[in-house]
Structure 1
């Protein structure tokens, strides 16, 4: 297992998840990538 983190790829996945988030009450989109 590598400890190297590709921050750009992780950020891109988090932004994609945020755009697809379902947040009907808070209207605060949260993105999670792992």
Structure 2
């Protein structure tokens, strides 16, 4: 079984905290490239 069990709300928040900076970096790279 999964050793890490996180409630859906917290999991969603964690994903946002991780993914948002990555998405912002991708947007910045596209702006600089264009």
**Fold match by TM threshold 0.5:** no
Instruction: Write 1 or 2 for the structure with the bigger share of helix.
Output: 2
TM-score range, shorter chain: 0.3 to 0.5
TM-score, structure 2 length as denominator? 0.43
Larger RCO: 1 or 2 (CA < 8 Å, sep 6+) = 1
